[in-house]
Chains A and B, each alone.
Chain A
């Protein structure tokens, strides 16, 4: 599970659904949640979690895309298996990991120091802890 330190900047509610906006490393993040009962308010410092297998990567991203979270990152290491590839990314001063198929990594020709965008759906992001 990747841990991302963030600050709550906005909370929107409708029925049982909550949309929370965060700021982390000068980027905005959004989380979709069901019946949020974590005690947070605007300004709360939290640790966000996202599974490595839920992070997609894009290079030279253009056009429209519905992914709420688009984090500019730099590749700091690649661990290639036979089928899968684990990619460690620097996001500001944090490190996050993405797991993709090896095929995707090769097709995109991912290599050290590449600038990529890490894509995370709002429903894949969760609050692990309130500080």
Chain B
């Protein structure tokens, strides 16, 4: 199976109008992460694939035409599973009923609940579940129709880091079991690295990068593999050397500089802090 996407659509962005132009071929079973700034067209792309928005061009999923110049297949006929940030469960139905609503397949429902450790909660109503449990139910529900294509739009961004990491394990488990071709919008590098086999980066409606997550996410500086961007806050003199204080994310680090380096950099500058992969230690 191969998914061919070649679409374009005029978008009215926040600051300017732009055109979403995406041409992609996705292999069966591939797990593709889509990343990019907000307003770059990620969610619109998913909505177009789902048939929730129209667009010019062509979408073909394993020889089935979803969209071409003459036709646009209805959302229900596309065989797609969705998981969004909000769980969108039916409040008046139990966990089990939420799954069976998609398809009356009790065996599959039991299997999915077992895989994700939800078996004991099958009779509970959504309001009595935690955020992580609700999202697990939403994930199981998306697999009930055995979709050809699974679309996830920042599925875990509302969860705390620990819960996110557990749900990532569940997503990985389900992806292995069902080999569903998956497109996931995500901003989280660790999530993308763990789950995706391929990553595309969108900018102003265009794909600017299409590689493995490692190739895109691993910042390097020549042969230095440990490289982080930060803001130079201060250069302090200490005996005959200098110590640079650099803010990286929520943390501050110190780097020893020689006299020449100390002159070369200005406070406030964005710098790359890098060293070889051999030097840092983990604790």
Q: Is B220 an interface residue (CB 8 A)?
A: yes
Q: Is the CB of A79 within 8 A of B240?
A: yes
Q: Is the CB of A126 within 8 A of B223?
A: yes
Q: Is B222 an interface residue (CB 8 A)?
A: yes
Contact of B258 among A1, A31, A123, A127 (CB under 8 A): A1
User: CA of A83 to CA of B222 in the docked complex: distance in angstroms?
Assistant: 33
The answer to whether residues A124 and B241 also contact, given A33-B223, A53-B256 and a CB cut-off of 8 A, is no
Interface flags, A37-77, vs B, CB<8A=1, else 0: 11000000000010111000000000000000000000000
User: CA of A78 to CA of B260 in the docked complex: distance in angstroms?
Assistant: 15
The answer to whether residues A35 and B225 also contact, given A81-B239, A99-B240, A126-B276 and a CB cut-off of 8 A, is yes
Min CB distance, B232 to chain A, in Å? 15
User: CA of A31 to CA of B223 in the docked complex: distance in angstroms?
Assistant: 10
User: CA of A80 to CA of B241 in the docked complex: distance in angstroms?
Assistant: 11
Contact of A99 among B223, B258, B276, B278 (CB under 8 A): B258
Q: Is B259 an interface residue (CB 8 A)?
A: yes
Q: Is the CB of B222 within 8 A of A85?
A: no
Q: Is the CB of B261 within 8 A of A86?
A: no
Main secondary structure of the interface of B (DSSP, over half): loop
Q: Is B85 an interface residue (CB 8 A)?
A: no
- Neighbouring B residues of A130 by C-beta, 8 Å: 222
Contact of B278 among A85, A97, A123, A127 (CB under 8 A): A123
Q: Is A10 an interface residue (CB 8 A)?
A: no
Q: Is the CB of B224 within 8 A of A84?
A: no
Residue numbers of A with Cβ under 8 A of B are: 1, 31-38, 49, 51-53, 79-86, 97, 99, 123-124, 126-130
Q: A38-B223, A79-B240, A85-B240 given. 14 additional CB < 8 A pairs? A: A1-B261, A37-B220, A53-B241, A53-B256, A80-B240, A81-B240, A81-B241, A82-B239, A83-B239, A99-B258, A123-B276, A124-B278, A124-B279, A130-B222
A-B CB contact pairs (8 Å), 17 listed: A1-B261, A34-B278, A37-B220, A49-B222, A51-B258, A53-B256, A79-B240, A81-B241, A83-B239, A84-B239, A86-B240, A97-B258, A99-B240, A99-B258, A126-B276, A127-B223, A129-B222
